[in-house]
Structure 1
Amino acid sequence: MDDRLQNAPVGVLEVLPDGTLTDINEVAQSLIGSTADAIGTSLAEVFPRSVEDSLLIAIEGDAVTETSFEEYYPDLERWLDVSIAATDEGVTVYLQDVTEQRRYEQSIEQLRIERKRTAIIENVFSEILAELVGATSREEIAETISRSLGGTDIYEFAWVGEREIGSDDLVIHAVGGETGETFAAVRDVLDTETATTLEERAIESGRLQSAQPLAETAHVPESVRTAGFADGVQSALAIPLVFGSNVHGVVGVYAAGTEAFSDREQTSFETLGEVAGFAVTAARNRNLLLSDTVAELTFDVGDSSVLSRLSQSLASTLVLEGLVPHGDEALLCFVSVEDLDIQVLEDAATQIEGIDEARSIRESVSGGTVGLTVQGSSPLLAVSSLGGTVRRAHFESGSGQIAVELPPDGDVRRIADTLSREFDLEFVAKEERERSVTTAREYREELTDSLTERQQTVLRTAYLADYFESPRGSTAEEVAASLDITGSTLLYHLRAGQRKLLEAYLDEHTRPSENRRG
């Protein structure tokens, strides 16, 4: 090899027609991890192998194939650009390391793919969220999610399930896409209860569960992994439909790639699960609001309730005057008591685990009302999240009773079973009542639509805290503190809400009387 090739900035190997290496420069030695001692040995013994082995194929036989190509060499963990040129003496092979260039190109391509994928996902999610806003039932919500996700090229299929009434079994509500054998395997596991599916884990934990790659995730049932391998399904995601502390159901999404769900995508799915959970709750609340009949369920409450324990410590009867959900696992409860000094009630409340704060709202000679901040999961909070309304509740000597108002549909049994299973409640009675359609009801519906959720919370809290009484039972600062907001923010929401109330009231009372219903 002449000096020009020896000092060239690329790797150079000279090979005889029979494949014997006759020379190699220092750059080539560095690139393939060889030394000058390799001269005189077969090129096949010196040069690392690739999947295609294009170099050895090109020089084997009587005729040399002049060519160039780029291949990945696993032993070297690098990409090489290889050029083969025939000479009078044999073959000259030129090498260049193109690993960084390849990685750069792969990064650009990956970003391009991810950008395209993100755009598709965002469009799908936007369509789903838009449809969820107007959904009126759990079935419609399930169909929307499964159809939209399963109908894309990104995912193989998606399904939505809920717990079966009266048990912990997970039942399928809707499925969309090419399910193949994988979904059949998931369904069989649910039916036979031989193992725990990814979706069941998501419902139990209330947290998103992923399996990437599916075949190597031990806690996925073996039959599902086997079916997924046969179908080419290599990733799965289970998204719980949550609202507050309640898990309404789960979405299972299956895809072909081994890393199909990026961190960003999983975050988007978590948001979808929260919005869908809210939509389920809203649909249930809407059914209660619009129903002409209501079902009233009565439950006995055991001593696990914080208000039961408080009544026991006081040996008095506590009556729930109203409540306002505050965050995912907190309630502002307004409780009245008779024949007891209000300061005694405040002091006792602060000693009960689960009650963070107690504040006097109204005081009389024989008792009064206090506002209690109750932390943690409770039946009162669960009722609201499940689409019901606490109509009345009282607690006495370590036990209590609550009456819950629900729309008279399939949710009644489900909610009764959920409350009894998850809390220390015993179902006592059910009564269905006719609800008259009145102008007052229509008036409430209009107000609910016009007020934001925050305005409703602020107005209700201020009202129950006697902020509007004279003299006031609570100052603006006290009401704001109970909601963890500033006084100026409270006043802003109060003014905005009051303005809407007045607008609705004046509009209602300026309508012609013949357009009203009694």
Structure 2
Amino acid sequence: MIEGATGPIAVLYVGPDTADRKAVADELGSVATTVRLADGVAGVREALAAATPDVVVTEHDLPDGDALSVIDAVGAVDAAVDTVVFTDADDPGITGRVFDAGAEFVPRREDGADRLRRRLRGIAADDPSTGVSAAIKQRAIDEAPVGITVADVRVPDEPLVYVNDAFERLTGYSAADVVGRNCRFLQGPDTDPGSTATLREAIDEAEPASVELRNRRRDGESFWNRVDVAPIHDDTGELTHYVGFQTDVTRRRRAEAAAQRWATESREERRAVEHVLDRVEGLVTEVTEALIEAGSRRALERAVCECIASTDGYDGAWIGAADPPREVVTARATAGTVPGLDATRSLPMPAGGVVDRAVETDAVVVESVDAVVDGVDPDRKVAIVPVCYREAVYGAVCVFPDEQAGFDSHDTTVLASIGRAIGTAINAIESKRMAATDGVVDVEMTAEGGALSGLAAALGCRLETEGVTRRDDGSVLLFLRADAAVAKEDLDAAIDDSAVDPVATSAVVGGEADSLVEVALAATSSLGRVNDLGVRLIGLEANSARVHLEFEAPGEPAARSLLDVLSERYDSVFIERIRRLDRGRRPEWTRLRSADEELTDRQRTALEKAYRAGFFEWPHAVSGDELADSMDITRSTFHQHLRAAERKVMGAFFDEE
């Protein structure tokens, strides 16, 4: 009789007639009252006809069929008879087919016989009143997705008496390895003693408990194990066993740890940002005030260096002006400690070097000082801050941190903003100096190729500038005198052939000998870009081979940047003459320039077209209707724009206020 069963149990074992069948039959005999044998499906039918067993245990592969045929044969006689398939057949689909047929499945392996005996005990203990058989309960426990263990507290050291399949997968230990041992074998040196003490106390008090332990698998790998234990009492209320449920929570614990690290790093990052902001707030304020108040470039540069040197975290600052032909940045001002540099020493700026890289990328570059200046402590750092305004390169600032602070991304972000602000301020000073008629640089250049030469070639004439106007959107309006008659359709075709990048074009007026041609170039054109340098085009002559250009630039750095911009668009550029001009102070000219800034694009275009086309001559060289048509507006609208422009210009010229 099976231990724990309520009555005798008869087993029919089906398998090929081999020595292995006898061994299995002997195992079954240790738990069953009777064991009958059958060779195959036909033998099953004969045995069932003679007597109905309580359980049929069958191999899968049989001489005249397989386990599924046995299940069908048993079901045809008595569907209440339990069938258990006990096999080592190498077919991963067997389990599903057996379960679908309504039978039990026990795989053959090291502990297969023990599992088979447990199945038979479950079948023998079946209680129909529960609605669920003991076999189903056993199967549910064995195949549960969490590890399940049962420990016998009546035996010294409370050994395990049962573990399910999930426990074996979780820990790497088989049932044969662990049954008879206390579950503490999962503990390792990193298991928290406090958590194990909590578990021990609950067991001693016959209370449920839940803890998370750092355990180790059989291969030594550690994992986080959530252990839930609960007491089991017999019918008399005596504590007999403890059931434990083990769940791998390693992924959750790792996610929690990562979230904690992220929170800590975020707090540290926020504190770092707040520290940097506190440190540089005064610097930004002081530099901004210095840029506003400085009356000259030299005063601005001295003030910036002093502001940086007086800020906590910085030892000193050095600023210089770019001199690309000599590949150096010449010293302009210095303050504080600047290792390897002083107010007279130039900074090398070779192509591809540290300074050139900062200027080309318009970004702060942090390097060891010895990468910039020879003979300096290689452990000292320096930040190279480019000083630029759009296309114009004015120089660089070298900022030296104190030896403890160093630089971080927040420093470089603030310094980059300061560098751009310095460039903007220098450009404003140079432009103001030019507008106020201080000395400016007159540059004459000859460029070969390019779109304007292509336009002259396509039109078959020579082009000479009559006027240049920059619009608010950055585009440039050119009034060109052609030494031949040009029709609108010919101009449009020439534009397409010459690769000029226009916004709009029109032939304003034409005669037998010449024409006034209007071409509006995009802000991205070479002449559009030179305006960003504070450079003013004052003359242009173009033929089919080359273009002669004359500019006024606010200082030599802008003139050098002008050469760089034009070199990108023309096959070759030659500087014919550079001279410094001193036009003298002319208040009325300054007032007229101020009036020009007050004009709208439409007013400026109407006024300049009228002037260039000879509308103010007598007799008129062009009519108001023709000018209105060239602007694609009505005659009355054209005259409204023209009168408004005339009032602003005359008011600026005659009014003292």
* TM-score bracket for the superposition, by shorter chain length: 0.5 to 0.7
* Matching of residue 13 in structure 1 with residue 160 in structure 2: no
Who is 2:392 aligned against? 246
Counterparts of 1:149-228 in structure 2, within 5 Å, are 149-164=308-323, 166-180=325-339, 190-191=347-348, 196-205=352-361, 207-211=362-366
Distance 2:285 2:645 in 1: 29
Distance change in 2, residues 1:268/1:294 (3 Å): closer
Distance 1:445 1:308 in 2: 31
Pairwise CA distance, 1:499: 8.1
Distance 1:127 1:500 in 2: 39
Pairwise CA distance, 1:360: 0.9
Pairwise CA distance, 1:504: 4.1
Q: Is the 8 A contact 1:236 1:252 kept in 2?
A: yes
Please provide the CA RMSD for this pair. Answer: 5.3
Pairwise CA distance, 1:285: 2.1
Three-state SS of the structure 1 residue aligned to 2:655 is helix
Who is 2:54 aligned against? none
TM-score by length of 2: 0.49
Distance 1:498 1:271 in 2: 41
Counterparts of 1:94-173 in structure 2, within 5 Å, are 104=263, 107-108=266-267, 110-164=269-323, 166-173=325-332
Measured against aligned partners, the alpha-carbon deviations of 1:180-199 in whole angstroms (never above 9, x if no partner) come to 46x69xx89x5495x94433
Picking from 487, 511, 516, the partner of 1:368 is 516
Measured against aligned partners, the alpha-carbon deviations of 1:355-402 in whole angstroms (never above 9, x if no partner) come to 234421612234232223246452x44654444432211111221212
Who is 2:42 aligned against? none
Who is 1:285 aligned against? 431
Who is 1:490 aligned against? none
Counterparts of 1:73-472 in structure 2, within 5 Å, are 104=263, 107-108=266-267, 110-164=269-323, 166-180=325-339, 190-191=347-348, 196-205=352-361, 207-211=362-366, 230-231=379-380, 233=381, 236=383, 238-243=385-390, 245-255=391-401, 260-262=408-410, 269-291=415-437, 296-303=442-449, 305-325=450-470, 331-343=476-488, 344-360=490-506, 362-366=508-512, 367-374=515-522, 376=524, 378=526, 380-381=527-528, 383-406=530-553, 414=560, 424-429=572-577, 435=583, 437-444=585-592, 447=595, 451=597, 459-461=603-605, 463-464=607-608, 470-471=624-625
Counterparts of 1:482-501 in structure 2, within 5 Å, are none
Distance 1:458 1:118 in 2: 46
The runs of 5 or more residues in structure 1 that have no matched partner are 1-5, 15-21, 38-45, 47-77, 79-96, 480-492, 512-518
Three-state SS of the structure 2 residue aligned to 1:316 is coil
Distance change in 2, residues 1:237/1:334 (3 Å): same
Distance change in 2, residues 1:247/1:332 (3 Å): farther
Distance 1:200 1:431 in 2: 27
Pairwise CA distance, 1:156: 4.3
Three-state SS of the structure 2 residue aligned to 1:280 is helix
Relative contact order, higher structure (CA 8 A, sep 6+): 1
Distance 2:199 2:279 in 1: 51
Pairwise CA distance, 1:145: 3.0
TM-score by length of 1: 0.60
Distance 2:193 2:349 in 1: 64
Q: Is the 8 A contact 2:486 2:507 kept in 1?
A: no
Question: Identity over the aligned pairs, expressed in percent?
Answer: 20
Pairwise CA distance, 1:203: 1.7
Distance 1:223 1:389 in 2: 35
Distance 1:140 1:472 in 2: 53
**Which of the two has higher C-alpha Rg?**
2
Q: Which amino acid aligns with 1:291?
A: T
Pairwise CA distance, 1:431: 5.9
Distance change in 2, residues 1:460/1:291 (3 Å): same
User: How many pairs does the alignment contain?
Assistant: 406
Measured against aligned partners, the alpha-carbon deviations of 1:316-338 in whole angstroms (never above 9, x if no partner) come to 11122333446898533332323
Distance change in 2, residues 1:230/1:371 (3 Å): same
Q: Is the 8 A contact 1:160 1:175 kept in 2?
A: yes
Q: Which amino acid aligns with 2:545?
A: G
